Amino acid sequence: MLAERFDFGLGMIVTLIFLVTSVVAFVMAAMAREDAYRAADKKTKPFWLIILGVAVAVNLIPFISMLFLQIAGLIASIVFFVDVRPALQQVSGGGRRRGGSSSDGPYGPYNGGR
């Protein structure tokens, strides 16, 4: 009985993590500009919205909630976070700049100490 409750609780936690990840990825994909996808040479905005929307739906609707579909949605969300989103930020100019000139590297300027 305790093992069944543990399995149920663990399943709910995993489902919640998958759901939150896919919802956050979907919202970020929806907020990006359409032309940024083309400029970053990634798939189109509707493509990512459909893929991530299906991932959200798989995690929300209980009767189609199969683990392999949830894992596929998680993989799509991870691909969006590690590949598409950084490319969109770079094209859109949304990178993290803390000031300095364009010749500054992570440890200081690339001007040879001049």
Mean pLDDT by 10 residues, the chain (114 residues): 78 88 95 90 93 92 77 94 92 65 63 59
Among the listed residues 27, 32, 47, the one whose alpha carbon sits nearest the alpha carbon of residue 93? 32
Strands annotated E in the chain: 104-105, 108-109
Q: What is the pLDDT of residue 96?
A: 57
Q: What is the pLDDT of residue 52?
A: 96
Q: What is the pLDDT of residue 68?
A: 87
Query: What token pair was written down for 21?
Result: 């990840």
